[in-house]
């Protein structure tokens, strides 16, 4: 999947060594890898990253966040394995990690120890909390959602509910990638590397900042989303005449209100001067909503969506994640990238949600088998074939 020179990826030539697992750390590496960095995943032998074997809600993590990476499988607790890892680090621009506080230092791979190997290294540490009273606690996405009020805002009163995706882990990995890019830019000017750190808790606090500021502005605490007072009269999910088929519609401006009334033949509402402004409509929501629900409830889902699209209104069918495999826009716009599984099966996955100069960034390397690049990388850092064979025979490294 080589790219022509004019499509050279923006991070080509940057080497990243990652000591990561689960979602937050791998997301950071995925972003850098898709943009062209050579991302080398260090995995422990004999079993590799435990994320490979997760079941249930974690079964999709490995495939989602590890494309475009190389796998270096090594016994990091052996002297020979650590020596190989350190030689690899000496060739790197960036090191990333997301293990519990103190774990990397105990291995001998904390920032100061890595900096002694490569003085201009960018070292990214992704933790549950930034330095402070909580810094030694163990965190999970669900933990920080509960701590920051994100779960409180998502579920009904008395029933906090975590968001339906790993929003903090993913966003935390993205913020880590942003800080790495900023550090690389500074290094071009100063020649100095640096330590950058991302906190899962602080990420979740950033997500709920709008609700914090709502209290400041209004003097009243934000209500959980299921019981909130909407900022707009029509901003809800509506049943259609087909069993189980629903459509979300949002009418968020005065001009959209006019378009909505014309599209759905609510001339009496559209001409009412007492409903001309948004806040007037919010106060009249109990009058408006039964009329809207009745009319939409007598229409097919497709008819409702067609009218909304023609009128330029925000709308969406209520879909499940698996429906996106066949989503027309994702597929026809080139927003899905193809991966090949170890058994030869081809699957599609969403690309990064942006383009640069018309270029989208998909897969150039499939999700790696454990140790798939161990030999190649050892050769690059000066190991002779017989030395590599000896490491393999001793179980210090594993090659796919």
List, run by run, the mean pLDDT of 10-residue segments along the chain (400 residues). 63 98 98 98 96 95 97 97 98 97 96 98 98 96 98 95 97 98 98 98 98 96 88 96 96 98 97 97 96 98 98 97 97 96 91 95 95 97 97 96
- Three-state DSSP class for residue 190: helix
Tokens (6 digits) for 58: 């974690």
Query: Phi then psi for 159, rounded to 5 degrees?
Result: -135, 70
Q: What are the structural domain ranges in the chain?
A: 5-207+337-398, 230-321
Taken in order 388, 392, 393, 394, is the CA torsion positive or negative? positive
pLDDT at 6: 46
Q: Which residues contact residue 49 at a Cβ distance below 8 angstroms, ignoring those fewer than 6 apart?
A: 21, 41, 43, 62, 370
Can you say how many angstroms the Cα of residue 312 is from the centroid of all Cα atoms in its chain? 29
Residue 317's beta-bridge partner residues? 247
Q: Which fold has domain 230-321?
A: formyl-coa transferase, domain 3 (3.30.1540)
pLDDT at 228: 80
d(CA 379, CA 389): 11
d(CA 146, CA 200): 12
* Cα-based torsion angle of the residue sequence 32, 36, 37, 38 in order, rounded to the nearest 10 degrees: 120
Residue 186's beta-bridge partner residues? none
Tokens (6 digits) for 373: 């690049």
Please say whether the beta carbons of 75 and 380 come within 8 A: no
pLDDT at 7: 60
Same fold, 5-207+337-398 and 230-321: no
Taken in order 168, 170, 176, 181, is the CA torsion positive or negative? negative
pLDDT at 161: 97
- Return the CA Rg of the chain: 26
Q: Which residues contact residue 124 at a Cβ distance below 8 angstroms, ignoring those fewer than 6 apart?
A: 28, 94, 95, 96, 97, 176, 179, 180, 196, 197, 198
Q: Where are the alpha helices (DSSP H) in 191-239?
A: 200-207, 209-218
pTM: 0.93
Q: Which fold has domain 5-207+337-398?
A: Rossmann fold (3.40.50)
Distances (CA, A) of 45 to 135, 158, 264: 29, 45, 63
């Amino acid at each position: 999947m080589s790219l022509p020179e004019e499509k050279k990826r923006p991070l080509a030539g940057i080497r990243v060594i990652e000591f990561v697992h689960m979602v937050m750390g791998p997301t950071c590496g995925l972003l850098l890898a898709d943009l062209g960095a050579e991302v080398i995943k260090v995995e422990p032998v004999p079993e590799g990253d435990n994320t490979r074997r997760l079941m249930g809600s974690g079964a999709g993590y490995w495939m989602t966040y590890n494309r475009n990476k190389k796998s270096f499988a090594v016994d990091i607790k052996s002297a020979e394995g650590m020596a190989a890892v350190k030689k690899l680090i000496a060739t790197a621009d960036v090191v990333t990690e997301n293990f519990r506080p103190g774990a990397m230092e105990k291995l001998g791979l904390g920032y100061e120890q890595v900096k002694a190997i490569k003085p201009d290294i960018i070292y990214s540490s992704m933790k549950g909390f930034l330095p402070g009273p909580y810094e030694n606690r163990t965190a999970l996405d669900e933990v920080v959602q509960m701590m920051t009020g994100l779960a409180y805002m998502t579920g009904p009163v008395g029933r906090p509910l975590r968001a339906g995706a790993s929003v903090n882990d993913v966003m935390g990995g993205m913020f880590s990638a942003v800080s790495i890019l900023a550090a690389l830019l500074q290094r071009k000017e100063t020649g100095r590397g640096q330590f950058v750190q991302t906190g899962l808790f602080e990420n979740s606090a950033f997500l709920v900042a709008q609700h914090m500021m709502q209290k400041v502005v209004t003097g009243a605490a934000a209500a959980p989303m299921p019981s909130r007072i909407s900022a707009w009269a029509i901003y809800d999910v509506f049943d259609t005449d087909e069993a189980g088929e629903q459509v979300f519609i949002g009418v968020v401006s005065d001009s959209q209100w006019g378009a909505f009334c014309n599209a759905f033949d609510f001339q009496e509402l559209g001409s009412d001067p007492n409903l001309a402004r948004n806040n007037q409509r919010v106060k009249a929501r109990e009058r408006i909503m039964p009329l809207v629900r009745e009319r939409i409830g007598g229409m097919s889902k497709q008819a409702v969506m067609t009218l909304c699209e023609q009128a330029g209104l925000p709308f969406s069918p209520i879909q499940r994640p698996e429906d996106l495999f066949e989503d027309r826009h994702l597929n026809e716009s080139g927003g899905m990238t193809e991966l090949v599984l170890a058994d030869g099966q081809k699957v599609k996955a969403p690309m990064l949600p942006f383009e640069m100069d018309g270029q989208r960034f998909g897969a150039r390397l499939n999700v790696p088998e454990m140790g798939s690049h161990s030999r190649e990388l050892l050769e690059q850092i000066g190991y002779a074939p017989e030395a590599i064979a000896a490491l393999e025979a001793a179980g210090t490294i594993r090659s796919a």
